Amino acid sequence: MLFNLSLRYKLPIWGSLLIVVTALVLTTSLMAQAWDNLRRDTLKSAEDLGRTMARPLFTALLHDDVWRAYETVSLPLAANKESELAKSLLVLDADGNVYVSSDPELHPVLTDLDVLGSDYKELKQRLADGSDSAPVILDRSDIPHIFVALPIANDSIRLGTLIVAYDKELLWQRFSLLIERAVWITLLVLAVLLPINWYWGGRMVAPLRLVTRRLSRIGSGDLANLEPGLYPYRDEIGQLYVAYDQMAGELREKVALKQEVIKTERMAAVGRLTASIAHEINNPLGGMLNAISTLKRYGQPDPQTQKTIALLERGLSQIRETVAALLVEAKVKTRPLTRQDIEDVRVLVAPMANKTKAMVDWQIDLPESLALPSTLIRQVLINLAFNAIQAAGNGGKVNVKLGLESGAFRLCIENDGKLLSEEQRESLFEPFSRFSEHGHGLGLWICYQIVTQLDGEIGAETFEGLTRFCVSLPLEHEIATR
Amino acid sequence: MTPAFLHDQHAMLAEWKIYLESKLKRPVVFVQRDSYRETMDLIQKDALDFAWLCDYPYLVLGSEVRLLSVASYKGKPAYQSYLIVPSSDTQSKSIADLKGKVFAYADPHSNTGYVVPRYLLKKAGKDASTFFRRTFFTWSHHKAVQAVASGLAQGAAVDSYVWETLQRVNPALVAKTRVIWKSPEYGFPPIVAQHKVGSKDFAEFQTVLFNMHRDPAGRALLEKLNLDGFVGGSPRMYQEVVEMMRVLGDS
């Protein structure tokens, strides 16, 4: 169906149709005009010729000089063979018979007009009806000639009639030459205009096609902006591009937000579950450890039993450590963070860095003291620094940046080790991370719990071959000082 | 100069004028007229010294002119009248077949173009004024050939010398005509001197004409004129014409 075609074809097709119709209408009207002009020119030149020749012919008729009359009527035809074909001049005597003709074989001397054909008969009738002085013009579509008849008269004495006869066939031949030329010019114009139109249509529709394609891909999650500078103009298509970019941006934000919410909710659920399980374990655990302590102190167990008790105590202590790690409690009493705390962490981290031969670069831009819980910040800093040094690996590089940024404490640690995979990023802060190569996989979980409980934000990103963990904490946080 | 020969070959006439001037050592002026009557008038008014006339005007002028020379054509100073019809007319065999048709005469003072056809009809007992449906004068043999070739006239009588010369000059035109009858021979159109021309000038001009065929320039001109040369003539050569004029009552 034509109307369902792509605009890339529809636009040029309609354009071409308009061009062709315009060309046809113009050519046709010009041709009609040309035919009218040709006919009028023919009649005019016939009349002019007749008037010019009527005078010498009057003398020839007066002297009854057939030869001079013949020379006179053949004169305009002698020079030009083509016009000789196109017309003939005919002199009638006073009785209406042929006196002389430029083509005596066609119109022999003394012939009655009636025997020359029906159109001559018609002309004879018209001449008989017409007035004496005015030229008689016979130009009917059903006769093969155009006749212009003029009186050969002087001083109101009429000696005969001069007839200029044009063969319409030859008029048509001349006109068909005009038509042929017009057709070629029209074709030439079309040959130039149609490709331009095709090209123009393609150019007009290309940006529309692009935005249509991109819109149809939104469903499959492709929300990239259009390449800048693709369409620099401010017309409707330019506005459409801007609108598309805005819409894509908003959609991207929405998707990101949704993912963030899901992640946060999941983390919260995991947190609640972990906390309640930890509490449930903690209570009987405390009892069991107390019981073992009592047993060690007051009972006299044999060596075998002592061994078993020690085994139980070690196992329960491990459970308590793990549960304690799960139960991150931010509301512990602590002192404000000082520069010395950071220095302590540097000292703590240094041996590990030495071991893995990683270079750790510290950039610290902090005031002497900050209203942040020192214990927790130290915990976060240590966890993240250890992770980074491990990830950087042998000879790797780790940058640690600490500073204040628009009223918030900001901590960024980056390493040039193996980048995080998409899968890793998805469940980065979950407890017992299966991606943890060392330890129990609670390090990032603890960081996350601390930061979120302090109303801060923690996130990971990768760029330019670096993996970066950033923490930002609001400073107006109230510290429960010891 | 009269239409007794192809007097509209202007380039040839210009050459002939230069030739005559160099031989006669004096200026020569050619006076051309399209009808015999005009030339005859000029002779009678003493406006011309010499003229190339047709037999008939020569005889009409009588003692006002003296016969100077006659051209020799195809070996003798004689020519004929040819009766011609359009080549498309394949039926006509004699002048009798032209009854009721349109006929072109050359000049009212032409022997071959006017006297001969009328004499022919007279001898056949026909009235020349009613025999043809229509007649007209073309005022030269050349034009009479054109009239027949174009179909304007269905017959004409022309000078055999002009018709045959035209055959060389304009073969396409002559091919449209056909000769159906040839007359007996008559004396060739004469060159005459006005009676007041002195005998010295007369002899001088006569000598130049008689000797034309002896030098290359003269021969080249004669070639263009389609003539052998110029010879002396006598009034006796025109006896037949005188007889025809008598029969027609024109003298």
> Is residue A374 a contact partner of residue A450, using CB atoms and an 8 Å limit?
no
- Cα A49 off chain centre by: 68
DSSP structure string for B144-213: HHHHHHHTS-SEEEEEHHHHHHHHHH-HHHHTTEEEEEEPPPEEPPEEEEETTS-HHHHHHHHHHHHTGG
Contact: A109, B150; criterion CB under 8 Å: no
* Best CA proximity match to A334, nearest among A481, A473, A455: A481
Q: Give the mean model confidence (pLDDT) for residues B190-214.
A: 94
- Write out chain A residues lying below 8 Å of B153, CB-based: 109
Using a CB-CB cut-off of 8 Å, the residues of chain A touching B107 are none
Tell me which residue in A74, A104, A110 faces B133 most closely, judged by beta carbons: A110
Query: Does position B176 have pLDDT exceeding 90, yes or no?
Result: yes
Task: Mark yes or no for CB contact B136/A104 under 8 Å.
Answer: no
pLDDT at site A434: 67
What pLDDT, on a 0 to 100 scale, did the predictor assign at position A114? Answer: 85
> Chain B interface, mutation test: which of A68, A70, A95, most B Cβ atoms within 10 Å?
A70
Q: What percent of chain B has pLDDT over 90?
A: 87
Tell me the per-residue pLDDT of B18-40, one tens digit each, with 9 for 90 and over: 999 999 999 999 998 888 999 99
Contact B42, B183 (CB under 8 A): no
- Model confidence over A46-67: pLDDT tens digits? 888 888 888 899 999 999 999 9
Which ipTM did the prediction report?
0.88
What residue ranges of chain A have pLDDT lower than 70? Answer: 78-86, 131-132, 330-333, 434-440, 476-482
Closest partner CB to B152 (pick from A64, A65, A104)? A104
Cα B96 to Cα B146: distance, rounded to the nearest angstrom: 22
* Residue the block writes with tokens 């009676």: B195
Cβ contacts of B104 on chain A, cutoff 8 Å:
67
- Going along chain B from its start, the domains and CATH numbers come out as 10-77+187-248 (3.40.190.10), 79-185 (3.40.190.10)
The pLDDT value given to residue B79 = 95
Residues 48-77 (A) with a CB less than 8 A from some CB of B: 64-67, 70, 74
A108 touches chain B (CB under 8 A): yes
Question: Is the pLDDT at B214 greater than 90, yes or no?
Answer: yes
CB A342 within 8 A of CB A370: no
DSSP lists the bridge partners of residue A93 as: A160
User: How distant is the Cα of A177 from the closest Cα of chain B, in angstroms?
Assistant: 31
How do the residues of chain A divide into helix, strand and coil, expressed in percent and rounded to 5?
60, 20, 20
pLDDT at A482: 41
Average pLDDT over residues B168-172: 92
In the sheet that holds A359-365, the strands lie side by side as A359-365, A397-405, A408-415, A466-474, A457-463
> Cα(A307)–Cα(A312) distance, rounded to whole angstroms?
9
Residue holding tokens 């500073």? A403
Chain B: closest CA distance from residue A78 (Å): 12
pLDDT-derived band at B144 (thresholds 50, 70, 90) equals: very high
DSSP A379-430: HHHHHHHHHHHHHH-TT-EEEEEEEEETTEEEEEEEE-SSPPPHHHHHTTTS
Asked if A104's CB is within 8 angstroms of B150's CB, the reply is: yes
- pTM more than 0.80: no
Average pLDDT over residues B234-242: 92
Supply φ then ψ for residue B65, to 5 degrees.
-130, 160
Residues of chain B positioned with their CB less than 8 A from the CB of A64: 136
Residue A27 touches partner B, C-beta closer than 8 Å: no
A70 with B133: Cβ contact below 8 A: no
